[in-house]
Amino acid sequence: MTAADRTPVTVLGLGAMGSALAEAFLAAGHPTTVWNRTPGRAAPLAAKGARHAPTVREAVAAAPLVVTCLTTFEDTRRALEPAAHDLAGRALVTLNSGSPAGARAMAAWAAGNGARFLAGAVKNVPSAVGAPDTLLYYSGDRTVFDAHAADLRVLGGDTVHLGDEADLAALYEMAVGAMLLPALTGFFQGAAALQARGLQARTMVRFAGKWLDMISALLPVYAAEIDSGDYTDAASTVDLFRAGAAHDAELTAETGVDTAWAAPLNDLLERAAAAGHGGHSVSALTEVLRGPRAAA
């Protein structure tokens, strides 16, 4: 395939992630048009061969595939409004974070303007865009995904279509993304505890990495327990985690490190025990988290 055969692409939104997306398309030889609300952010991409469109209308008109990477779905709709009538027949792919409801609203707006729509999510940092194992998932119009799978794979080799319902990518994005802040906060708490002893955070990186590997290996086991609703074959019980929670106050007393962020997690353990799950696998926390509405 020559550069002349590559699909022309427009990228709207040139923040950290949008710029990385545009760079990946440029590096793969796609004729790439870019637009950003603050025009100065387009300069580095223009220097690498991108065409800088002065208006969103000109940007949308430049390519059959329009990829957006603004902060939210609402920002995206607001920015696209002047080009709404230019979207008919084009493939519109959003790559921002947002809720399933936000994705559904975006899909309805796109359909109302005749765009063929995919809502996607980049499950990695900007520097990983374009790598063979970088995960991006999409949901919505399967024909758009099939038509542009090779173009979209330029952004990351692990490219998945989750289904025709446009909100699925946002749902999985939130489901998987929920793990990030608790896991990182635990790492930051650990780093603070080490610093209180004059030790460097980097001394725990190898051990923390092995801990994450172990957690990763446990996920299919916990998923099977959750899917079956059988929590009785427990390797690690709710009560075991409750015993560990008692050490938070001791760590705070010894090091001054603030462990208060873990209080709601410890409360979750207490509520699970009160609901009769003390001797069950810790994955039974899902029963408490699911809440009455979804359980009905």
| Nearer Cβ to ligand NAP (95/238) | 95
Strand partners, 33: 10, 51
Handedness of CA 77, 167, 221, 294 (dihedral sign): positive
Q: Which of 110, 60, 114, 107 is nearest to 89 (CA)?
A: 114
Q: Which is nearer to ligand NAP, 123 or 161 (CB)?
A: 123
Return the number of the residue (31 or 98) whose C-beta is nearest ligand NAP.
Answer: 98
Distances (CA, A) of 214 to 54, 217, 221, 234, 278: 50, 5, 12, 16, 23
State which of residues 7, 97, 99, 252 lies at the interface with ligand NAP (CB under 6 A). Answer: 97
- Convert residues 264-293 into a mask of x (bound to ligand NAP by CB under 6 A) and - (unbound): ------------------------------
Q: Which is nearer to ligand NAP, 37 or 153 (CB)?
A: 37
Residue 21 CB, nearest approach to ligand NAP (Å): 9
Among 7-15, 81-89, 181-189, 281-289, the segment contacting ligand NAP (CB under 6 A): 7-15
Q: Which of 8, 15, 163, 278 binds ligand NAP (CB under 6 A)?
A: 15
Name the residue among 156, 126, 125 with its Cα closest to residue 138.
156
Scanning 16-24, 44-52, 186-194, 265-273 for contacts with ligand NAP by CB under 6 A, the matching segment is 16-24
Strand pairing category for 9-12 and 32-35: parallel
- Please report, as a single letter, which amino acid is at residue 250: E
Q: Compute the distance between CA of residue 178 and CA of residue 170 in angstroms, rounded to an integer.
A: 12
Site for ligand NAP in 180-209 (CB under 6 A): none
| Structure tokens that stand for 9 in this block | 């692409």
Q: Are 60 and 86 in contact (CB under 8 A)?
A: yes
Whether 164 contacts 142, CB under 8 Å: yes
Cα gap 141→145, rounded to integer Å: 7
> Can you tell me which of 9, 17, 59, 273 binds ligand NAP, judged by CB under 6 A?
17
Q: What would the x/- binding string for ligand NAP be over residues 37 to 76, using CB under 6 A? A: xx--x---------------------------xxx---x-
Q: Cβ 76 to ligand NAP, closest distance in Å?
A: 8
Nearer to ligand NAP, 78 or 142 (CB): 78
Q: What is the rounded CA–CA span in Å between residue 262 and residue 266?
A: 6
125 counts as binding ligand NAP under rule CB under 6 A: yes
The residue (of 132 and 220) whose beta carbon lies closer to ligand NAP is 132
Binding ligand NAP by CB under 6 A: which of 29, 44, 114, 126?
Answer: 126
Kindly state the number of chain residues that form the binding site for ligand NAP, as judged by CB under 6 A: 21
Query: Helix, strand, coil proportions of the chain in percent (round to 5)?
Result: 60, 10, 30
DSSP string, 160-223: EE--SSTTHHHHHHHHHHTTHHHHHHHHHHHHHHHHHTT--GGGGHHHHHHHHHHHHHHHHHHH
Q: Which residue is nearest to ligand NAP (CB)?
A: 15
Confirm or reject binding of residue 16 to ligand NAP (CB under 6 A).
yes
Query: What residue ranges bind ligand NAP (CB under 6 A)?
Result: 13-18, 36-38, 41, 69-71, 75, 78-79, 96-97, 122, 125-126
